[in-house]
Amino acid sequence: MNAITTTAPGALGADGGGSPGILVADGLVKQFGGLRAVDGVTLAVQPGEIVGLIGPNGAGKTTVFQMLSGFLSPNAGTVRFRGARIDGRNPAQVCRMGLARTFQIVEVFPSLTVLEVLTMAASVRHTMKAARAVAHEVCTKIGLATKGSLRCSQLTLPDQKALEIGKALATGPQLVLLDEVMAGLRPAETQRVVALIRALRDEGVTFLLVEHIMDVIMNVSDRIVVIAAGKVIAEGLPKAVANDPHVIDVYLGREVDLA
């Protein structure tokens, strides 16, 4: 653990102030055969925060997300969402409780329209009639108001990324996990996604994001957690993390300009 780390293993408050957090993962371990992909990860997210989870390729970020969202069961450790244990529950149960995720690989249903996909997502919680209304609302919110009847295969990459966030949003989440939702976008296009995340946070949605685009993740996040080889190696304000010699050594390679 690094000097700027504020969450000790087993501690429940990310701010050190005792607030347990909307999401608390404690001592998560995931073993794939001989590989310990996640090796005792403890992290907490406070309501209304935007937390960035960063680290080298293969560090275990997506595996952590899989365990937080019910797609994988941890070999050890616990996950609490709004105070309730969710490790061991399935993804649909976790999603209905208000924790939604996007996937690292954009998953589109090429022949369905934008509104059909959003309606499908909203139907996790709603009757079909209500789901259609939610789908329209979300479609506008993500900037696709005029594209609701386009097939997903007709969308540009930035619109596909917005739709990924929309699918999570349509399930009515309090917390959204975004896994590299901005990968492949040009700088101007990432700004659109950043603006959307900020607007949603202002409406009360909490975010945990994985992203490799350093200036974006450092600018959008209130707090950063760094993992390497399955362990949390640093945690703190973006500026402190970006200038941390150990983080620079194992991941960043050079200091990040946060101008």
Which residues of this protein are in contact with ligand ATP, per CB under 6 A?
32, 35, 37, 55, 57-63, 104
Does the footprint of Mg ion cover residue 62 (CB under 5 A)?
Answer: yes
Complex with ligand ATP: residue 121 or 233, whichever CB lies closer:
233
Least separation in angstroms between residue 39's CB and Mg ion is: 16
* One-letter identity of residue 126: H
What is residue 248's DSSP assignment?
I
Least separation in angstroms between residue 44's CB and Mg ion is: 21
Least separation in angstroms between residue 26's CB and Mg ion is: 22
Mutual angle of helices 157-169 and 128-141, in 10-degree steps: 140
Complex with Mg ion: residue 57 or 111, whichever CB lies closer:
57
Q: Which of residues 149-178 bind Mg ion (CB under 5 A)?
A: none
- Calpha distance 174→226 (Å, rounded): 23
How many residues belong to the site for Mg ion (CB under 5 A)? 3
Residue 63, CA atoms < 13 Å, CB-side half-sphere? 24
- Calpha distance 174→22 (Å, rounded): 9
Least separation in angstroms between residue 67's CB and ligand ATP is: 10
Complex with Mg ion: residue 61 or 101, whichever CB lies closer:
61
Q: DSSP 3-state assignment of 62? A: helix
Does the footprint of Mg ion cover residue 42 (CB under 5 A)?
Answer: no
- Calpha distance 21→48 (Å, rounded): 10
Binding partner selected for residue 46 from ligand ATP, Mg ion, none, CB under the kind-specific 5 to 8 Å limit: none
Complex with Mg ion: residue 103 or 148, whichever CB lies closer:
103
Q: Which of 152, 204, 214, 195 is nearest to 176 (CA)?
A: 204
Binding partner selected for residue 37 from Mg ion, ligand ATP, none, CB under the kind-specific 5 to 8 Å limit: ligand ATP
- Calpha distance 16→40 (Å, rounded): 19
What's the CA dihedral at 178, 180, 186, 192 to 10 degrees? 0
Binding partner selected for residue 58 from Mg ion, ligand ATP, none, CB under the kind-specific 5 to 8 Å limit: ligand ATP
By the 10 Å C-beta count (0-12 exposed, 13-18 middle, 19+ buried), 62 is classed as buried
Binding partner selected for residue 231 from ligand ATP, Mg ion, none, CB under the kind-specific 5 to 8 Å limit: none
Binding partner selected for residue 171 from Mg ion, ligand ATP, none, CB under the kind-specific 5 to 8 Å limit: none
User: In the complex, which residues of this chain contact Mg ion (CB under 5 A)?
Assistant: 61-62, 104
